[in-house]
Amino acid sequence: MTTSTMYLLATAAVLVLTVGGGVGLAVLFHLGSQLVLGDGRLPRLVPQRVIVPTEPMAVLRWRREQDEERMAVARRVAAYRSGATVLIVLAALTGFEYVMNLVGISVFGLFVIALVKAAIIVHYFMHVATVFAAGDGH
């Protein structure tokens, strides 16, 4: 095997690995982010066939339904996403306090970080505001 062939093969391997790995990672990331950030369902890889009506009133109704559905999806996505955002922030703060402790941080500083984390949990996860609401909704 000549040197140039080896170079060719090596380049091809690197290309395949990077592109393939990149695509694979992207798919994984996409699926994962859909799971974590999306509406909680695996996305359809093959889009559903949509039959668009032609009669004018039906078109209007179809568009309204489409809008409502999109809004509902958006609300659902937002609800799930806020939980994930809180998770990411809390994890980052935990990592931050761990690293800062290696660097050197005072007890007071650690307490401040813990208080920030606690405030986030109490507000976003425990919905403390509902205590002061007059018993409506969950």
Partner 1 sequence: MSGSTAVHGEYRAALRNNRLGLWLFFLSESFLFIGILVTRFYLWGNTRPELNQLNGLLVTIVLLLSSFTMNRAETALVQNDRKTFLNSLLVTVVLGLLFLAGVIVFEWGGHIRPSDGAYGAVLFGMTGMHALHVVSGIVFILIVWNNGRRGLYSSEQHWGVEACAIWWHYVDLVWVFFYPALYLMGQAIR
**Residue 32 beta carbon to partner 1: minimum distance, rounded to whole angstroms:** 14
92 is written with which tokens? Answer: 């980052």
Does 97 bind partner 1 (CB under 8 A)? Our answer is yes
Number of H helices, E strands in the chain: 4, 0
CA atoms within 13 A on the CB side of 48: 5
In three-state secondary structure terms, 21 is helix
Binding residue for partner 1, selected from 9, 91, 96, 103, defined by CB under 8 A: 91
Judged by the rule CB under 8 A, the positions of this chain that interact with partner 1 are 39-41, 76, 79-80, 83-84, 86-87, 90-91, 94, 97-98, 101, 107, 110-111, 113-114, 117-118, 121-122, 124-128, 130-131, 134-136, 138
